[in-house]
Amino acid sequence: MSAVTPEIIRCAACGANNRVRPEQAGQAVCGRCKSPLAAPARPALVTDGNFHSVVEQSPLPVLLDLWADWCGPCRMVAPVIEQLAAELAGRVRVGKLNVDQNPATAARFGVQSIPTLLILKGGREAGRIVGAQPKGEILRQLQAVL
């Protein structure tokens, strides 16, 4: 198993740099001043191994993009997922899961086509978007579930 590289998040309150493991993002506090640290503004890498800590234990709802390298529509949706991660930081956690490398999670949710976007609350599916959809439609469905 490979080691998870911590991310450096700068505290907005005191400026201190903090090492935060991906599964802690969104719930971490500054080591110096104890202020909440802003969630990263990019999608979290989700795997079969870290699904529990990153998704199920997230205090925020999660928008999870299930994709594969060979999937053209997945590549079309990728920039939208990046934008949503930045725009929704602190309100919704955005993650990406490669289904070829992580088949157990894809099977657990019965994913049969990609891209599939799962909207999860407490690790449970609250919504599903199948196929490449425009950003506005993804936001509309996300808001309807939240």
The second-level CATH assignment, the architecture, of 1-38 is Roll (2.30)
Residue 43 confidence class, pLDDT cut points 50, 70, 90: very high
Catalytic annotation, residues: 71, 74
pLDDT greater than 50 at residue 54:
yes
Any residues with CB less than 8 A from the CB of 72 and at least 6 apart, and which? Answer: none
Give the pLDDT score at 1.
Answer: 43
Instruction: Give the tens place of pLDDT for each residue, 110-135.
Output: 999 999 999 999 889 999 999 999 99
pLDDT band, residue 16 (cuts 50/70/90): confident
- What local confidence, expressed as pLDDT, does residue 18 receive? 85
Tokens 């990609």, located at residue: 114
CA-to-CA distance for 100 and 102, rounded, in angstroms? 6
Considering the entire predicted model, what is its pTM?
A: 0.76
Q: Torsion angle of alpha carbons 59, 62, 68, 73, nearest 10°? A: -160
Class of CATH domain 44-145: alpha beta
Question: What's the mean pLDDT in 31-52?
Answer: 86
State yes or no: pLDDT of 46 exceeds 50.
yes
Domain boundary assignment for the chain: 1-38, 44-145
pLDDT tens sequence across 90-103: 788 899 999 999 99
pLDDT (0 to 100) of residue 56:
92
| Res. 2: pLDDT tops 60 | no
Q: State mean pLDDT over 24-41.
A: 78
Chain segment 55-77, per-residue pLDDT in tens? 998 888 999 999 999 999 999 99
End-to-end alpha carbon distance in the chain? 35
